[in-house]
Amino acid sequence: MSTASLPAAADPTPGPHHVAIIMDGNGRWAKARGLPRVAGHRRGADAVRRVVRGAGELGIPVLTLFAFSTENWTRPADEVNDLMGLLRHYLRNELEELHKNGARLRVIGNRDGLAADIVRDIDEAQKMTKANARIDVNICINYGARDEILQATRSLARSVAAGELAADGIDEARFEQELLTAGVPDPDLLIRTSGEQRISNFLLWQCAYAELVFVDTLWPDFGKEHLERAIAEFRRRERRYGGVGG
């Protein structure tokens, strides 16, 4: 459902406690303006800054952003290099603001394939912000949900084969310990920008009961007011978790 015409009205219903966002539309934003795709990615980085700040102001405890998927490696090499450059810029130039605003940064994804300096920057950013408690900001880089689930399954299978774990001892809680998001609460609300209505291999296990909100706004134009509208839509919904509504 698009929230393009929804008012950002206040609502007393609690939550969401964890908002996940698929940041989509950078390329289309640039194309519409006759600019190279990297220009859209750069403006998208500005949107990240606005939304992280806005989420903190709105009191959202956890924010997760899908920045680079395992499938994104198939894009043209120049675009991938530009995206990696923007990642370096973000980790090195936005860290002070994140830290100042009480954000704890966590990067979720497979580090294989990432340049050594990016891995080092990730480690330093996580170390600097680990004691912050105002908002948890998770950035998914080189992340794919199917691969995450496969890796978790293989890890559990190895434990069973080694006699360290009984097959009957594998329940949802134990499975979640093997996921890359271990220790992170499941999202209540998943937002995708740009009008596309799919979740694109993002947090498949974790979003089993998330409310989905699709907005027409392209990511570079997304800001706190759009986040507020999505939250307002979330609060109007009745969450049943498979049960019967009132």
Q: What residue numbers does the annotated binding site cover?
A: 24-29, 37, 41, 69-71, 73, 75, 192, 198-200, 211
Whether 72 is catalytic: yes
Number of helices followed by number of strands (H, E) in the chain: 8, 6
Q: Are 29 and 221 contacting, i.e. CB atoms less than 8 angstroms apart? A: yes
Q: What residue numbers does the annotated binding site for substrate cover?
A: 25-29, 37, 41, 69-71, 73, 75, 192, 198-200
Active-site residue, selected from the candidate residues 72, 101, 110, 132: 72
Q: What residue numbers does the annotated binding site for Mg(2+) cover?
A: 24, 211
Whether 110 is catalytic: no
Q: Are 4 and 217 contacting, i.e. CB atoms less than 8 angstroms apart? A: yes
Q: Is 193 helix (H, G, I), strand (E, B) or coil?
A: coil
Q: Are 30 and 74 contacting, i.e. CB atoms less than 8 angstroms apart? A: no
Half-sphere exposure of 136 (CA within 13 A, CB side): 19
Q: Is 19 helix (H, G, I), strand (E, B) or coil?
A: strand
Cis peptide before 187 (omega within 30 of 0): no
- Active site positions, annotated: 24, 72
